[in-house]
Homo-oligomer: A and B are copies of this chain.
Amino acid sequence: MQIVAITNGGNLVRHGEILEALRKAGYRLTPQRVMVLSAMAKGKGHLSADEIYEEVRQAYPFFDLATVYRTLQLLVKLHLATAIEEAGGARFELVQEGSNQHHHMVCEECNGVFDLPPHYLNALKEQVMREVGFEPHMEHFTIHGLCADCREREEKKAVS
């Protein structure tokens, strides 16, 4: 088939690395897989299977949801992407490296998503590894709670 369009506003380097890793592992570089990766690199993180589906379908209307799921399963199996289980369905993210890596804080009040630099988890990771013998894999991590703004609002409410 012909690739109609592949746009990439995001993490181009990482995207290429992953294509390379796929090929090396003996998997075929089909246009569908390339487009899924483009969509994931473009929309930074936290995409649902359906969002990826819709994104790719704009360039290639015959694209199928089953292909999204099969590609995502493959990426997760090769540790090139991670699945984030959430109520209402899983979300997927390419594994990030170095300065691009980050965790998330989700506000239970306003549902806002905030980034947390990775170093915050280093101490915990090491301590668990050292004292418990369990090796944490926390390439991606989500903390639920209250953001600063909503916390302030709650406090005002409590006073009145």
Please report A residues at the B interface, Cβ cutoff 8 Å. 83, 85-87, 90, 105, 107-108, 114, 116, 120-121, 123-124, 127-128, 132-138, 143-148, 151
Contact = CB atoms under 8 A, between A and B. Distances in A.
B83 A85 contact: no
Copies of this protein chain in the complex? 2
A7 to B, nearest CB: 31
A147 to B, nearest CB: 6
A143 B148 contact: no
A87 B87 contact: no
A138 B143 contact: yes
B116 A135 contact: no
Interface centre among A134, A145, A147, A151 (most CB of B within 10 A): A134
Nearest to A138: B143
Contacts of A128: 105, 116, 120, 143
Contacts of A148: 132-134
A135 B124 contact: no
27 contacts: A83-B87, A85-B86, A87-B90, A105-B128, A105-B132, A105-B134, A105-B136, A107-B134, A114-B132, A114-B134, A116-B128, A116-B134, A120-B127, A120-B128, A121-B124, A128-B143, A133-B148, A134-B143, A134-B147, A135-B145, A135-B146, A135-B151, A136-B144, A137-B145, A137-B146, A138-B144, A138-B145
